[in-house]
Amino acid sequence: MSDRSSGPAPSYEGRPLPRPAEDLFDQGLSFDLATMSRRQMLGGLGLGVGAFALAACGGSSDGGASATSTTSCSTAASGEEEIPDETAGPYPGDGSNGPNVLTESGVVRNDIRSSFGTASGTAEGIPMTLTLKITNLAQDAAPYTGAAVYVWHCNRDGEYSLYSQGITDQNYLRGVQVVGSDGTVTFTSIFPACYSGRWPHIHFEVYPDQNSISSADNAIATSQIALPQDVCETVYATSGYEASVNNLSQLSLATDNVFGNDSAALQLATVTGDTTSGYQVSLTANVDPNTQPTGGDAPAAPGGGDGTPPGAPPSGAIPTSSRPSSA
């Protein structure tokens, strides 16, 4: 990082940085509120992460800073940007919209392919291992050890357990893991489908600890993971994912109603593997426990985020039905 003690005092949008020795994202709550949310600012002004970080270096997007200092500062700042806040959608299963799987014994588990408790169903599909690295921005992006991460997503047919017709008595593809000392949690699951109107995605919520997962009000971060197009196309060419082929062909990250602000710049997973042995999906989610959750960009309304009745299965699923746009 460049030496900020020389030259003009670092500023952003004409305002002196209250913590000139720190990155732009570490200027404190008052500064963040005055700037609006980082995501809103980036989307509204059409700026990329690099331009945002460049401003924090005391330079400008027109090349006012040296090439060396711009590169080092931009990399450090963008690597510590907070994961965007997103809607939990109408099928969270966290008690905020009907059923609450988080109060059930057995929800803390690694393998989420099968239902647990009194349910016995298993979700079929291409194997997928999901690894999330959770960092705490309030502690200089240290591993968020002890935090609890709740993950859920649709099945191979685009349906959600607990909500979709025929599987309301199932709770598969839902589970919680506690962040270890290395900052990661890992889930064994299946590759989710693409249903009509939404880019293929995985939901997750972060809680400060395992004891707090019983109430969705305790979540300190709610977001979604986007899956890469080339991997999705390969998976959806296999048996069982036929409905996803046409659904995906009509979508793009840029027009998705959740990822469209920045084409999932901070939410697009890294994926390796193949359809035979399965896929390894990974993403780093930087979380600031001091940030007030907003519910993301989807409009809030009774029933599931956009006025649809609770429990309506997504369109494009099998069987087909109308789906909420914020699923």
Domains in the chain (CATH in brackets) are 11-78 (no CATH), 101-287 (2.60.130.10)
pLDDT of residue 293: 82
**Which helix (H) or strand (E) covers residue 53, if one does?**
helix 49-56
Task: Dig out the tokens for 47 from the structure.
Answer: 């700026």
The Cα–Cα gap between 90 and 305 comes to 6
Per-residue pLDDT tens for 147-175?
999 999 999 999 999 999 999 999 999 99
Q: What's phi and psi for 319, nearest 5 deg?
A: -80, 160
Res 139: pLDDT = 96
**Residue 303 above 90 pLDDT?**
no
Q: Which of the pair, 17 or 290, is modelled with greater confidence? A: 290
Q: pLDDT tens for residues 83-118?
A: 999 999 999 999 999 999 999 999 999 999 999 999
Average pLDDT over residues 23-46: 47
CA distances, 65 to each of 58, 62, 129, 234 (Å): 7, 9, 42, 43
Reported as a pLDDT band with limits 50, 70 and 90, residue 66 is very low
Quote the pTM value.
Answer: 0.72
- Which residue in the block uniquely carries the two structure tokens 């599931």? 304
The share of the chain scoring above pLDDT 90, in percent, equals 64
